[in-house]
Copies of this chain bind each other. A is one copy, B any other.
Amino acid sequence: MIVVMKVGCSQGEIGGVIKRIEESGLKTHVSQGVDHWVIGVLGQTFPELHDTLELLPGVEEVIPISKPYKLASREFHPQDTIVKVNDITIGGDEIVVMAGPCAVESEEQLLATAQAVRAVGANVLRGGAFKARTSPYQFRGLGERGLKMLAEAGKETGMPVVTEVMAPSDVELVAEYADILQVGARNMQNFILLDEVGKLKKPVMLKRGLSATIQEWLLAAEYILVQGNEQLILCERGIRTFETYTRNTMDISAIPIIKKVSHLPIIADPSHATGKWYLVAPLALAAVAAGASGLMIEVHPNPDLALADGPQSLTFEEFRRLMSQLPPVAQAMNKKLATSGVEVKS
């Protein structure tokens, strides 16, 4: 932590800052620049100290040096984290494809979709039972009934399932049915929910918030890691910008950045990032080319009849086409599509 003093500050003000730092059990290191005196803080600092020093007389600015997250950072955990779900690995050489409908609507819809995506190479089945919807007048999901259908369709088709949990009090219930629990973008800073999924022994997928910086996202990850759950996957799904053509703007650079500053695996969700089905395939390919460890893709038998997010869902045929375009791009990145997965029951 470095304290920059105001131009023309007094010696008394410099002394006041030093005194406050030393009262916190830390050491200081003072130097005089051309315009500014600068006081370095030596030792393990803490968030409140930043605020304290910023308010002392004569202080221009307090600049943090250490990153505020530790467990999520590559500095303190250099090797890649690889999350295992059955015999699929996320974060290594495999590209995992999670696919399925936005919302679980019925057994028929879900099973048909599961079979269709499985047949062309998807590894994980997605489907929402608890839905976060902008308006109270939209379909909010089937709840536990949906969870059951999802687990059943996963078993039928030999795929682990991923689904969103929205309420801290539902974590236990959702964990009974799901192989991966998703924390959605709107809940990225629902800290009580983060605490709860952090106590699980199951993989969690944490989506980036619509307006979350990469640092805030990693601090949200830190909430989960600090509770002891290290089976954590990040998912870029678009951020909010001034551009209105797409629902959100997919921050493609977040993929190589996360790989640089963190050890956690990162996948991409081009369906939510764009909100338009015809942008899903190009952005899925781009995400893999940028180094993503996987994709989450919305697929629906009849997007025009979907109860949620129809406009961004691929048809079976469109999904099949995307799956045929992925292998050469994966190969160019020295990766391959995950082919493992529990065998379909016969």
Residues of A within 8 A of B (CB): 2, 4, 6-7, 20, 29, 31-36, 38, 40-48, 51-56, 63, 65-66, 68-69, 75, 132-140, 166-169, 186-187, 189-192, 209-211, 213-216, 219, 222-223, 226, 239-246, 249-257, 260, 273-274, 277-279, 282-283, 285-291, 303-307, 309-311, 325, 328-329, 331-333
Contacts and interface: CB of A to CB of B under 8 A. Distances in A.
Q: How many copies does the complex hold?
A: 4
Nearest to A137: B47
Contacts of A48: 138-139, 306-307, 310
**Chain B CB within 10 Å — which of A69, A239, A307 has the most?**
A239
B282 A256 contact: yes
A214 B245 CA distance: 7
B191 A166 contact: yes
Given A33-B65, A65-B36, A249-B241, A134 B219 contact: yes
Contacts of A260: 278
A78 to B, nearest CB: 9
Nearest to A300: B55
A244 to B, nearest CB: 6
A35 to B, nearest CB: 5
28 contacts: A7-B75, A31-B40, A33-B41, A35-B65, A36-B66, A38-B40, A47-B137, A47-B138, A53-B304, A54-B311, A56-B304, A133-B191, A140-B191, A187-B190, A239-B241, A240-B242, A241-B241, A243-B251, A246-B257, A250-B252, A252-B252, A253-B273, A255-B282, A257-B279, A286-B286, A289-B289, A328-B328, A332-B332
Contact of A310 (B41, B55, B277): B55
A244 B33 CA distance: 25
B65 A213 contact: no
Contact of A191 (B44, B132, B192, B216): B132
Nearest to A284: B289
A138 B241 CA distance: 27
A69 B136 CA distance: 9
Contact of A63 (B63, B135, B251, B309): B63
B303 A55 contact: yes
A257 B276 CA distance: 10
Contact of A190 (B66, B190, B254): B190
Contact of A246 (B215, B253, B304): B253
B135 A47 contact: yes
A188 B274 CA distance: 22
